[in-house]
Amino acid sequence: MRKNEHGLQVIDGGSVERSSSNNSISKMRLVPDIAPPPAIQLGIPGLGRSRRNLVSVGLDGLEVHDVDALMQDEGVRHVVDIRLSPTFRGPVGVAMQKAISASLVSYSHLSGLSDPFVGVLAPAWERRDRYLQHLLKVVDQLNVVMKLIHDGPVLLLSWIPRHRESDRAVVIEALQTIDPGFTLRIVD
């Protein structure tokens, strides 16, 4: 058992050695490298993947072939776009637009959650604080996102690929002040 970067305990899969009748030793995997959660593996009703999921994605960091897989694997029902200008250019943008229109996924562009301080000459911490204060003034739009999270998995989309440096991180911080009861998955 180890602790991850957020201080959560993680049990890694491992292997055990097993002797056979001819005294040879073989290794057997205990947990596959990428395993679905146990409740999904066991098919326990009501204990499967939580519907209250938020997936943080930067459009710039995606590959074309990742878009459909991400939407399907996460069971995304809603895409919330917080970019100032919601254009879908380039191969990845076109793939995202096709994935949204080809499925039963709803799309919301909430420009009020965009960072109005991009380009402001100020220290990063000051811009972040000002942005968070701005978000706490547009609670109606944060509540829209929270309602969508309650309805099913939401993909929170912006342009910047690295979550920690993105506007999505600040929006999620503001959402957690309203209701911290959702699961966050970061796609970097």
What are the structural domains of the chain?
44-187 (3.40.1010.10)
Contact 48, 122 (CB under 8 A): no
Contact 58, 168 (CB under 8 A): yes
pTM for this entry: 0.71
- Angle, alpha carbons 33-39-44 (nearest 5°): 150
Residue 108's Cα: distance from chain center in Å? 16
The Cα 117–Cα 167 span in angstroms is 10
Is 50 exceeded by the pLDDT of residue 33?
Answer: no
Residue (of 186, 121, 124, 118) closest to 155 by Cα position: 186
Tens digits of residue pLDDT in 98-139: 888 887 789 999 999 999 998 899 999 999 999 999 999 999
Could you tell me the two tokens for 30?
A: 């205990």
